Amino acid sequence: MNRITKVKVFFLYLLVFNTTSVAVATTEVLMTCKVKTNAAFSVEDGIGKEYSGIKNTFKQGDDIYFRITFTNSLLVTLSNSVTSKEKKTFLWSYISSDDMKYLKVDENRLGVTYDEKNFTVITSSFINIESPLEQIFLKRYYRGDWNGIYTYTVPIDLLVNIATLDCKQNQDKVDDFIKEVIVKTKGFGTKKR
């Protein structure tokens, strides 16, 4: 391959790479969250117990990652790594493309009620993801900075884990994400289950 061909291939690669990263960026929100406090509570034989968290999860001071992605479905995760092979996912919420027809939208709000126990609300200043055992509530406090609470419940063990989070984005993308999802879901409808 001669030098001119190599240069053309290189610029073609840059063009494709930059186009792809822009397309992905408009349909994904990624926040790095610092665990500010973390505690677990349980009760056994009428005696309450307090712990510094749940074994094999995260602890105070750890960085964890909150990610929302949209293609034809909506996926929300909270994990200890973005790409690691040893990635542990603590929160996982998935709304299939079939269930996106229940999406309720307006100019700056997305809402999906999957059933009575699972729902998602994303606004420019508040994110609420709830399932029967896990919840995350995030509230914007300055531009791309969010704070929130994550809870995880283990009913069979009478155990609850509560963590407070301080989340940051390199670039604030929540408003762009909402607009992009609204554009991509036009015509999905707003049916009720």
Q: Do the beta carbons of residue 112 and residue 95 sit within 8 Å?
A: yes
Provide the strand spans (E) within the chain: 28-44, 47-51, 63-70, 74-79, 89-95, 103-106, 109-113, 119-123, 126-130, 134-142, 145-154, 159-168
Give the residue-averaged pLDDT of 11-40.
63
Give the residue-averaged pLDDT of 149-167.
95
What is the residue type of 148? G
Q: Which two tokens stand for residue 173?
A: 């993308």
Q: Which two tokens stand for residue 134?
A: 């896990």
Give the residue-averaged pLDDT of 92-116.
71
Residue 186, Cβ density class (10 Å: 0-12 exposed, 13-18 middle, ≥19 buried)? exposed
* pLDDT per residue as tens digits for the range 108-145: 677 776 666 667 888 889 999 888 889 999 999 998 99
Average pLDDT, rounded, for the chain? 78
* pLDDT per residue as tens digits for the range 39-73: 999 999 999 999 999 888 899 999 999 998 888 77
What is the residue type of 103? L
Q: H helices of the chain, where?
A: 3-25, 174-184
Which CA distances in Å does 70 have to 19, 78, 79, 153, 176?
A: 17, 15, 17, 27, 12
Q: Is the pLDDT of residue 81 over 60?
A: yes
What's the pLDDT band for 99 if we cut at 50, 70, 90? confident
What's the pLDDT band for 161 if we cut at 50, 70, 90? very high
Single pTM value for the model: 0.76
